[in-house]
């Protein structure tokens, strides 16, 4: 919020009120963008990679950075969604806060493709990156649309990870994923977690 002081010529008093020569005008600026990474972790057996299909829809619960109002339900956003944003550019989601009435938008980071979890990496790994203006995600509902790859190259598509998932690879070995967890971290603050 920027406050600018402007001086006007003295105005005559109206109905007994005192005339004023200085007015304070509040200029509300558009929220700057923040980059947020969606991280995923899970308990896996015989799993090499977990990724998402092209155009995957992520279901996010959002919080307004102005008034802290939260969306009652998860809102779907995918790279295939394109609408005009608050600055006129194309974005993947625009939403109006029910608390303060401001319009906010979210886009996938165009310079960063969706990531994937790999067994050789750390426990939590980046799955997607979002450019957020005025409304930040704080919860991700895990549903279907995942791609799971086993060490022998067996690939399973449109996997639903909302609950424990099990199958067998081409060699007959069991493949399973359970206890899937997600979190959001700031992409430009050394991995600081977003508060829930």
pLDDT in tens, 2-50: 444 444 444 444 444 444 333 333 333 345 789 999 999 999 999 999 9
Inform me whether the pLDDT recorded for 51 exceeds 70.
Answer: yes
Task: Judge contact between 96 and 127, C-beta under 8 A.
Answer: no
Which pTM was predicted? 0.77
- Minimal CA–CA distance to 132: which of 63, 55, 74? 63
Torsion region of 114: left, alpha or beta (phi above 0 gives left; psi -120 to 50 gives alpha) = beta
- Minimal CA–CA distance to 71: which of 35, 38, 96, 92? 96
Percent of all residues in the chain with a pLDDT value above 70, rounded to a whole number: 80
Cα dihedral sign for 55, 61, 66, 69? positive
User: How remote is the C-alpha of 61 from its chain's centroid?
Assistant: 8
**Could you give the maximum distance between any two Cα atoms of the chain, in Å?**
91
| Segment of 35-44, 85-94, 101-110 carrying the highest mean pLDDT | 35-44
Distance (Å, whole) CA 176 – CA 135: 35
Please tell me the least confidently modeled range out of 53-62, 82-91, 143-152.
82-91
> Which helix (DSSP H) or strand (DSSP E) does residue 149 occupy?
strand 146-149
Inform me whether the pLDDT recorded for 1 exceeds 50.
Answer: no
Report the mean per-residue pLDDT for the chain: 84
Inform me whether the pLDDT recorded for 173 exceeds 50.
Answer: yes
Mean of the pLDDT values across residues 77-102?
A: 90
């Amino acid at each position: 919020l920027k406050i600018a002081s402007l001086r006007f010529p003295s105005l005559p008093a109206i109905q007994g009120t005192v005339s004023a020569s200085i007015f304070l005008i509040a200029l509300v600026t558009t929220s700057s963008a923040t980059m947020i990474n969606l991280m995923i972790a899970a308990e896996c057996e015989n799993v090499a990679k977990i990724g998402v299909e092209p155009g995957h829809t992520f279901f996010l619960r959002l919080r307004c950075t102005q008034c802290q109002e939260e969306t009652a339900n998860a809102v779907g956003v995918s790279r295939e969604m394109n609408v005009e944003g608050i600055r006129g550019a194309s974005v993947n989601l625009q939403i109006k806060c029910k608390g303060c009435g401001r319009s906010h938008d979210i886009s996938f980071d165009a310079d960063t493709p969706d990531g994937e979890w790999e067994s050789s990496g750390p426990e939590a790994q980046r799955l997607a990156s979002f450019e957020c203006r005025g409304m930040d995600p704080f919860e991700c509902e895990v549903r279907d649309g995942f791609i799971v790859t086993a060490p022998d190259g067996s690939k399973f598509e449109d996997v639903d990870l909302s609950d424990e998932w099990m199958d067998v690879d081409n060699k007959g070995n069991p493949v399973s994923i359970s206890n899937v967890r997600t979190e959001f971290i700031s992409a430009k603050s050394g991995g600081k977690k977003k508060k829930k």
